[in-house]
Structure 1
Amino acid sequence: MTQHLTEHDVRGIAEYTRIGLTAEEVVAMTADLNAIIDSLSPITEYDLDGVEPTFHPIGDLSNVMRDDVERAGFTQETALMNAPRQEDGSFLIPSILGEGGDR
């Protein structure tokens, strides 16, 4: 089995993803990841010269969404109509951080 990733690579990946690994786990993870890479090696045996990349399995899928057309929205008064508490044209909500109180 060719080693594609080193233990240094695995430590870097673990640090980047904020996963704490012991020295033994780094060794095991390195072996596991290299085994996964080796299991994918048969893909490299296909002759893909001249094969166009496929970006979607359905092919020429087009956007079926409606056009983004600007239309009138709520007025500030309408948006605040059902607000349990408001102040100066804004929603007044209880603070979830700090000393408490409304914000």
Structure 2
Amino acid sequence: MTEHVTEKDVRAIAEYCRIGLADSEIPQMAADLNAIIDELAPITEYDLDGVEPTFHPIGDLSNVMREDVEGTSFTQEEALSNAPKQQDGSFLIPSILGGGEA
């Protein structure tokens, strides 16, 4: 097996990705990554001359969102009509940080 990734590389990658690896896990992770890279080696043997690179699997798809169009909306009274609690024209919700009662 070729060493594509060293233990030093694994430590740098883990630090960059903020993955906590114990010192005892580093050698196995390096071996696993090298095995994965070796398994992918046959991909480099494909004849790709004349094949245009693609950056999105669906082609020229640029935006799948609809246009933002203004429409009718609720009045403040309608929006608050089913609220269990309200205060000063706003929804009153329990505090998630504590220190307040709703």
Same fold (TM over 0.5): yes
Give the SS at the match of 1:97.
Answer: coil
Q: Which residue of 1 aligns with 2:84?
A: 84
Q: Which residue of 2 aligns with 1:97?
A: 97
The whole-number CA distance in structure 2 between the counterparts of 1:61 and 1:95 is 43
Aligned AA (1:81): S
Cα displacement (A) at 1:95:
0.7
Cα offsets for 1:25-84 (capped at 9, x unmatched): 011001101110110000000110111234326x67798876553211222221111000
Matched, 1:15 2:15: yes
**Counterparts in 2 of 1:31-70, with a 5 A limit?**
31-54=31-54, 55-56=56-57, 68-70=68-70
Q: What number of residue pairs does the alignment pair up?
A: 101
The whole-number CA distance in structure 1 between the counterparts of 2:16 and 2:101 is 38
The whole-number CA distance in structure 2 between the counterparts of 1:65 and 1:99 is 41
Q: Which residue of 1 aligns with 2:6?
A: 6
Task: State percent identity of aligned pairs.
Answer: 72
Aligned AA (1:8): K
Aligned AA (1:34): N
The whole-number CA distance in structure 1 between the counterparts of 2:68 and 2:38 is 47
TM-score, scaled to structure 2: 0.78
The whole-number CA distance in structure 1 between the counterparts of 2:99 and 2:8 is 45
TM-score, scaled to structure 1: 0.77
Unaligned stretches of 5+ in structure 2? none
CA-atom RMSD in angstroms: 2.5
Cα offsets for 1:2-43 (capped at 9, x unmatched): 222221221122223333212120110011011101100000
